[in-house]
Chain A
Amino acid sequence: MNRRLNNELRNTNRTVSSSLEEPIHAKLYTEGEIIKDAEVFIGYNHRGIEKLATQKNFIQTLALVERVCGICSHSHPFTYAMAIENIAQMEVPKRGQYIRVIMAELERLHSHTLWLGLACHLIGFDSMFMHIWDFREKIMDILEEISGNRVNYGMIIIGGSRRDINDDMRRKVNEMLDSLEVDIIKMRDMLLADKTIAMRTKNVGVLPYEDAIRIGTIGPHGRASGVNVDVRKDAPYSCYDEFDFEVPVVQDGDVFARVVIRVLESVESIKIIRQALENLPEGPINLGNKLPKVPAGEFTARHEAPRGEVIYYVNTDGGQTNYRISIHVPTFKTASTVPFMLKNNTIADAGLIIASIDPCFSCLDR
């Protein structure tokens, strides 16, 4: 940070709404309308979830970590369960793994479409925002059809999945996907060809590859700056190595690149869900819903959540509760990029640039 510059600009204070309903404070140092430097302040809503988890048994913890984030409410118990299963040397039945992946990719779809709609809203393209959120409802319907819930699906148990996908449901979900795929492709063609979106997002909030690597950025935000990191490919888990899919990476590092990445990833997610539904193995979906016996041990599990890598470090002492859980969410590694992206952009674009990391400060304040 350039302290001298900050001191020179300190008298230009004023308050601007960043358009985000999130507990974040960005301090901008400006010359006229141009942002010359910025600081980001987070951590206004610490919830003590890691501390609380040390008092809960392994089944109770699933319900607890599911509430770290509303949008990624499958990713958190998924990652936690993988850590416990690794410590306890449990092998999750194949069918249970496939169902986990289907839910994870549906979650990615609804998260990306949520963000794409919001991005359109932030640039004033409200008709596109409403169109995207309209067909996003189809994804929510599929999630509800499978799990019975629109958020906090409760689909994960230690050792597998809680609910099965029967043949009837599979046919119904496939029909829903047919309709959804048409909408996603239409959205892709519109977003990537629209002049308004290009004018408002190209060369805005640029994060060059060198900065992205130096800061350690991950997820779609990193991949939009050329950082080719995706846990599903780099360290395959569950049954991701059995599916044919691409990890889109672009180099431009601007807000438009972040739109492109999320649009292309949505198309890939549909590919994965279709393959998983088509090849859903026969057999049990879990190892039984009982409190597992977990020996003393430790494991760091990772999952590619919609916003990037979720990391769970779990330490057990052979008892029925967690000795220590350490949760790190994608926003931990993307929020620190905000000051770099804001520099030399206008105040009017600050809200869009901050939103372009697809932040979840609720996750961060776990």
Chain B
Amino acid sequence: MQEFKSFEIKKEEIVPLAEKKKKEGIRLLMIQGYVDKEGQVVVCYQYEVGNCIESYKITGEAELPSISHIYDLAAAWPEEELYELMGVNFQGLEMRGRLFMPDTTLEGRGQILVTPLSELKKKMLGE
């Protein structure tokens, strides 16, 4: 049976936590993100601990330290994705440029998750 546990953490805890998990040989499963009902960006660092996913959540921070120097590409691609989909800036992340969004869509970065669908249609289709 797969399990899921969620924890709230602060911005300054991200890097020490990643270093600790890496040292323990724990896999970074994914970095997820969404925008909550108050319009705040939420980023979840998810680690695989046995059959449990531990999800460490940071709310309301548009700039976060990158953990790509600890988890390499396993962190770099998810961070780049969150930059492109939600406009979160990861300090220290070596950006490859556009990775997931086409150049023609919202200039290839930023706001697709943040913007309501009706406004996206106006921007992209000129409706």
Contacts and interface: CB of A to CB of B under 8 A. Distances in A.
Contacts of A46: 100-102, 105
B45 to A, nearest CB: 12
B74 A237 contact: no
A299 B72 CA distance: 25
B15 to A, nearest CB: 18
Contacts of B77: 332-333, 336
Contacts of A43: 98-102
Nearest to A23: B102
A45 B73 CA distance: 22
A268 B2 CA distance: 22
Interface string B60-75: 0000000000011110
B100 A216 contact: no
Contacts of B46: 300, 313
A300 B29 contact: yes
A229 B99 contact: no
B84 to A, nearest CB: 8
B69 to A, nearest CB: 12
Interface string A283-303: 000000000000000111110
Contacts of B37: 317
A229 B34 contact: no
A235 B51 contact: yes
A215 interface: yes
B34 A324 contact: yes
A313 B30 contact: yes
A300 B4 contact: yes
Interface residues of B, number: 38
Contacts of B30: 300, 311, 313, 326, 328
Contacts of A161: none
A216 B28 contact: yes
Interface string A326-350: 1010001100100000000000000
A101 to B, nearest CB: 15
Contacts of B48: 234-235
A234 B6 CA distance: 20
A328 B96 CA distance: 19
A136 B48 CA distance: 35
Contacts of B2: 82, 86, 235, 237, 301-302
A55 interface: yes
A14 interface: no
B101 to A, nearest CB: 6
A323 interface: yes
A365 B1 CA distance: 29
A336 B101 CA distance: 16
Chain B CB count within 10 A is highest, among A52, A229, A234, for A234
Chain B CB count within 10 A is highest, among A39, A235, A236, A326, for A326
Interface of B: 1-2, 4, 6, 27-30, 32-34, 37, 44, 46, 48, 50-53, 55, 71-74, 76-78, 96, 98-102, 105, 112-113, 117, 120
16 contacts: A42-B99, A43-B98, A48-B112, A51-B113, A55-B117, A214-B73, A214-B74, A235-B51, A237-B1, A300-B55, A302-B29, A317-B37, A323-B34, A324-B113, A328-B30, A336-B73
